[in-house]
C-alpha cells in the first residue's frame, strides 16, 4: 500500500491494469526473482516501466513472502483488511515477532500465542510490555521494543484485533 502498487497492479481482480494481478504472481515466481525485480525491475523484465521499490531489505523479504502466499482465493479478503491491521501486521513481520509467537497457528512457540490477546490484556499493558517485557513478565526472553508512537499504536491495535484461535 505504501508503495502504491495498486496504481499498476490489482491484488485480486477487476479492470485490467498495466502490471500483472498480484494474486497469481506467487504461483509463477520465486522469492529471489521477486526481490531482484523489486530492486531493479527493468533489469529483470526489460522495458518494464516499474520504478524500483523503495523499502528496506526486511520489507523486501516480507513483501516477497506475502506475494508467495496471496492466491485468488484469499486476495479478496486481503483487499478488505483495514489500514491499521495492515500496518500492525507489517510491524509484526519486520520485527520478526513470528520467530517466537504464533498467530493463526503460524510461528514460533517460545512466546505465548497471540490470538485473542485482546481478551486477556489491555492496550496499555501491551504497549508497556513492548517497552519493558521484564517489568510485566519477569523472566521473559522478549527484548524491549520502543516503537515510535504511531507504530506502537498500529501494532497494539493489530494484536488487540486478533480473534481467539
Residue 53 φ then ψ, to 5°: -80, 130
Listing DSSP states for 48-112 in one string gives: --PPPP---HHHHHHHHHHHHH--HHHHHHHHT--HHHHHHHHHHHHTTGGGT-EETTEE-SSSP
Encode pLDDT of 22-78 as tens digits. Answer: 999 999 999 999 999 999 999 999 999 999 999 889 889 989 998 999 998 888 888
What is the per-residue pLDDT for 141? 93
Q: What is the helix (H) or strand (E) element at residue 34, kind and residue range?
A: helix 31-39
145: DSSP letter? -
For the stretch 104-132, pLDDT in tens is 999 999 999 999 999 999 999 999 999 99
Q: Is 3 a residue whose pLDDT tops 90?
A: no
Q: How many residues does the chain have?
A: 165
> 156 is written with which cell numbers?
497494539
Handedness of CA 54, 55, 60, 66 (dihedral sign): negative
**Closest residue by Cα to residue 133 from 125, 142, 124:** 142
Q: What is the mean pLDDT of residues 96-101?
A: 95
pLDDT of residue 14: 83
Q: Angle CA(106)–CA(111)–CA(117) in degrees, nearest 5?
A: 75
Residues 6+ apart with CB under 8 A from 119: 164
Cβ(119)–Cβ(52) below 8 Å: no
- Would the pLDDT of 1 be above 80? no
pLDDT of the residue at 73 = 87
Listed residue (124, 78, 95, 90) closest to 3, CA to CA = 90
What per-residue confidence (pLDDT) applies to 81? 86
Residue 143 pLDDT more than 80? yes
Amino acid at each position: 500500500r505504501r508503495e502504491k502498487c495498486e496504481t499498476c497492479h490489482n491484488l485480486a481482480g477487476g479492470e485490467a491494469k498495466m502490471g500483472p494481478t498480484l494474486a497469481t504472481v506467487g504461483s509463477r515466481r520465486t522469492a529471489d526473482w521477486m526481490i531482484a525485480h523489486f530492486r531493479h525491475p527493468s533489469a529483470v523484465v526489460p522495458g518494464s516501466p516499474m520504478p524500483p521499490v523503495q523499502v528496506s531489505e526486511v520489507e523486501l523479504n516480507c513483501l516477497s513472502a506475502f506475494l508467495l502466499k496471496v492466491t485468488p482465493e484469499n486476495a479478496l479478503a486481503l483487499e478488505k483488511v483495514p489500514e491499521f491491521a495492515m500496518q500492525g501486521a507489517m510491524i509484526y513481520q519486520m520485527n520478526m515477532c513470528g520467530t517466537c509467537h504464533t498467530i493463526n497457528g503460524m510461528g514460533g512457540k517460545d512466546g505465548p500465542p497471540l490470538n485473542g490477546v485482546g481478551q486477556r490484556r489491555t492496550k496499555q499493558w501491551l504497549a508497556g510490555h513492548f517497552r519493558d517485557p521484564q517489568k510485566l513478565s519477569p523472566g521473559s526472553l522478549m527484548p524491549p521494543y520502543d516503537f515510535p508512537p504511531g507504530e506502537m499504536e498500529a501494532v497494539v491495535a493489530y494484536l488487540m484485533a486478533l480473534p481467539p484461535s
